[in-house]
Amino acid sequence: MTDTAHDTASRFAISAPHRELLDQVLDKWSLEVLNELCERPARFSELRRRIPAVTQKSLTATLRRLERNGIVERVVLATRPVAIEYRITPLGKTLRPPVEVILAWASRHMPAIEDARRTFDDGLDA
């Protein structure tokens, strides 16, 4: 392998712990939850209203994964009755810039991606 090819390969090497983390914090519902919590903290029921397509089970699992990874914190509010609020952590806020870079890349390259998809799909039909 050439030095250039090796450098490129090592930059894209994803170890098991990295892959697990990325799977847990960059999936569909995690990105939706993070988008909402970047705006302001929210209770579970508020998140359900703001993300209508997510099921209760999926939202619960997503919040637990994000909390386990230190991205979201669960805060018990001293109200009657007691309420739970979810907030993005300082660590969670650091995810916003790289996610915005990926979204900008996708927006910039979407026409080429759509062309590639059409070409691929047309090849399957042939």
Interval 46-95: pLDDT, tens: 999 999 999 999 999 999 999 999 999 999 998 888 899 999 999 999 99
pLDDT score of 108 more than 60: yes
pTM, entire model = 0.78
Residue 3 in domain = no
Alpha-carbon torsion (25, 11, 5, 119), positive or negative? positive
Whether residue 112 lies inside any domain: the answer is no
CATH number of the domain bearing residue 88: 1.10.10.10
What DSSP string runs through 19-79? HHHHHHHSSHHHHHHHHHHHH--EEHHHHHHHSTTS-HHHHHHHHHHHHHTTSEEEEEE--
Number of domains in the chain: 1
pLDDT at 58: 96
Percent helix, strand, coil in the chain, to 5, is 65, 10, 20
* Residues 2-58 pLDDT 10s: 555 555 556 778 888 888 888 888 888 999 999 999 989 999 999 999 999 999 999
- Cα gap 29→21, rounded to integer Å: 14
How far is it, in rounded angstroms, from Cα 99 to Cα 31? 9
pLDDT attached to residue 62: 96
Task: Identify the residue with better confidence: 99 or 13.
Answer: 99
Compute CA 34 distance to the chain's CA centroid, rounded to the nearest angstrom. Answer: 7
Domain span including residue 73: 14-94
